[in-house]
Structure 1
Amino acid sequence: MSILVTGGAGYIGSHMVWELLDAGHEVVVLDRLSTGFQWALAPGAKFYRGDIGDRHVLDEIILTHRISAIIHFAGSVIVPESVSDPLSYYDNNTAKSRTLIAAAVEGGVKHFVFSSTAAVYGTHEDMKPVRETARLKPESPYGTSKLMTEMMLKDAAVAHDFNYTVLRYFNVAGADPSLRTGQSTRGATHLIKVACEAALGKRPGIDVFGVDYPTLDGTCIRDYIHVSDLAAVHLLALERMQSGGKSIVANCGYGHGFSVLEVLNRVKSITGNDFPVRFAPRRSGDAVSVVADSTIAHSEFNWIPKYDDLSLILKTALSWEEQLSSREVDLSVS
């Protein structure tokens, strides 16, 4: 297949590009490089620097490369930022996704995989793993902007010869085990990325937002999925649609979670390095516990995770962080 990957120079997108190339597909990447890096692209991928809201560029790519499927990662992902600047999230995540979906439908692209989020669920009081049938009640503009795109995909698939897979991510972490790519964004807010930087002396410490949640140690609980397992799910989802599978929504997680303090203590244990941990008030939009029920992904995609181990996730993240320190790469935003 010839596949368009939006946001393919970013963290998850760059792993996806490697996954697709390893499987023998032709890959075209569209990325405006707001948080990604051109050097992170795998050799062999064709690159366009541009925005998913630019219909002219989209039409050119779809026609020139005879795109048969789109995997859509491009978007804004920081929950607190979405609370303080909601309209930019509705523009970048929702309005521009509408432009991309329209270009796909009108360009004859049959298959669409969308990078969504567990933030569409919000907090569930019973703290049990969340199923796709759970109430959808996002608690941030980020989650709402993603949910609105899911709704557009559903309606478009009813009206047109077009199918989709929505993958709701839980917390993505780690790096390619071969260290071909990893999380490189400067000023990233992901807990594991920040903790690795703190452990390696790249940050003076780390802030923990909220220690009064109804959990064993008072900090939030998240389901951390290795980025390579996540990339594998996307490929399996695409292959399922190719084989006639209907549109579907599926969670991507391991079904068990770790608290913020558990993650930080594990990083300290693995590295043997202590670092300051500062306690701060809760952030708006943060849910108490978000853990996946990924039964659908296992049964529909025959997905068998390879990296379901917190220590392994942390070790790959730390190895990538060390490699970034030793390599001469430009981490400034292009």
Structure 2
Amino acid sequence: MNSDESSEIKLALTQLNPDEERREQVSQQIQAAQTPELIRSVESSEVIINIDPDELPYEDINYHELINGLKQRYKLRLDTTGLQKILNNTPHSSTIQNLSDDEKAKLSYSVTEKITFREGKFPGLGHDQYTPIYELTFHSQNLAAKVHGRTNIAELLIKEAFELAWDAAGMPRKWENEEVQREVATKSYGTHTKVDLGGNVLRLISPAPRHFLQDNLSANLRLGARMMARSALDGFEPPSDVAGTLSLDELVVRFAILDLKTGRMEAPKVKLTVMARNEMGGGVVDVVSELPFEDHVKLVEGLAIAINQDVP
């Protein structure tokens, strides 16, 4: 690429509106970050951004305009199942079927303090034609998105939805506005992938307890037999002759984290789950973390290295 072509591209990017410029940046990030082969699929990613309630114009929103805007841009549909469940449990149970969508949205926010949209499509970024949107939620104190893709797409969706809400309130406002950014309190992330760690995930358990369980499964303490249902055939005693193997079904690691600057404490977790019977005893596992996608990848790569090290 010569200097003239490069200058033309830079000029074109500066002329993009904020939505297009953000999308271009995220698209470039996705194309630049190669997904390692051990990640079979990205099941979902989610982002929650806590923001001062004054920065969310719920009282001024034209809900008809907001709902139509989300439908036209992302094909999202308003979901009121949570609202209907609450109404079903009230003394004078009522239905919302005869209400318009904008009336349902207003009522949902009044009753549940949130408005939820589901089953949409985010326009294609990177090599994908589109990214499925599982959920977009406007809450009284936060905005949240869950997509079948990376966390940077979920965060991009939140930014665009924030601006659509202000547009629907008749007061256009950009996410990058300094006043808006000052009111953003926290951002939380989550990523769920299916991975192949390349070795038996049972190795995540240290050798001593693993060997103890293996040695006492069918012999010695005969733990396997003693955990089985007892029948009249054995006089309601543990079966006399059993064999078995060990496999990891689910492992949850809980952290207790203290921010030494603010004193804030959180308890995030990492969860590994074998989702199918034919995956038992191998390295294929679903990994769920409270990490942005890029950091989640580093976690998975580290676990794969640890599992495949020579261990007793």
Measured against the shorter chain, the TM-score band is under 0.3
Structure with the higher strand share, 1 or 2: 2
Task: Tell me the TM-score normalized by structure 1.
Answer: 0.23
Task: Tell me the TM-score normalized by structure 2.
Answer: 0.24
Which protein shows a greater Rg? 2
